[in-house]
Amino acid sequence: MCGRFVSTSPPSVLAAYFDAATIDEAVAGSAPNTNTAPGTGVSVLRSAPEGRRLERFRWGLVPSWAKDPSIGNRMINARSETAQSKPSFRRAAASRRCIVPADGFYEWFRVPGARARQPYLIHRPDDEPYAFAGLWEQWRPPAAEGVEPIGPDEVLRTVTLLTTSANSAMGAIHDRMPVLLAPGDWDEWLAPERLAEGRFEQLCVPAPDSLTVLRPVSTEVNDARHKGEHLLDPVEPIDGAPPGTDGAAPVPG
pLDDT at site 150:
47
pLDDT at site 153:
55
Residues 2, 55, 98, 204: which is the catalytic one? Answer: 2
Whether 50 sits among the annotated catalytic residues: the reply is no
pLDDT at site 148:
47
Whether 204 sits among the annotated catalytic residues: the reply is no
Three-state DSSP string of 21-45: CEECHHHHCCCCEEEECCCCEEEEE
User: Domain 5-142+151-232 adopts which CATH fold?
Assistant: hypothetical protein yedk fold (3.90.1680)
The b/e string for 135-144 (b: 16+ C-beta within 10 A; e otherwise) is bbbebeeeee
Strands (E), 80-230: 97-102, 104-110, 117-123, 130-139, 156-165, 176-178, 213-216
pLDDT at site 31:
94
d(CA 98, CA 191): 9
d(CA 128, CA 17): 9
**92 residue type, one letter:** A
Residues 55, 107, 137, 204: which is the catalytic one? Answer: 107
Residue 170 gets the label, from left (phi > 0), alpha (psi -120 to 50) or beta, of alpha
Over its length of 253 residues, how does the chain's per-residue pLDDT go in tens digits? Answer: 799 999 999 999 999 999 999 999 999 999 999 999 999 999 999 999 999 999 999 999 999 999 889 999 999 999 999 999 999 999 999 999 999 999 999 999 999 888 889 999 999 999 999 999 999 999 988 764 444 444 555 789 999 999 999 999 999 999 999 999 999 999 999 999 999 999 999 999 999 999 999 999 999 999 999 999 999 999 999 999 999 997 544 444 4
Using alpha carbons, list the distances in angstroms from residue 19 to 42, 80, 216, 219, 246: 18, 25, 32, 35, 30
pLDDT at site 143:
62
pLDDT at site 5:
98
| Phi, psi torsion values for 25, nearest 5 degrees | -60, -35
- The residues pairing with 194 across neighbouring beta strands, listed in sequence order, are none
99 and 88 Cβ atoms separated by less than 8 Å: no
pLDDT at site 250:
43
Q: Look at residue 232 and give its three-state secondary structure.
A: helix
For residue 187, give the nearest of 81, 51, 90 by alpha carbon. 51
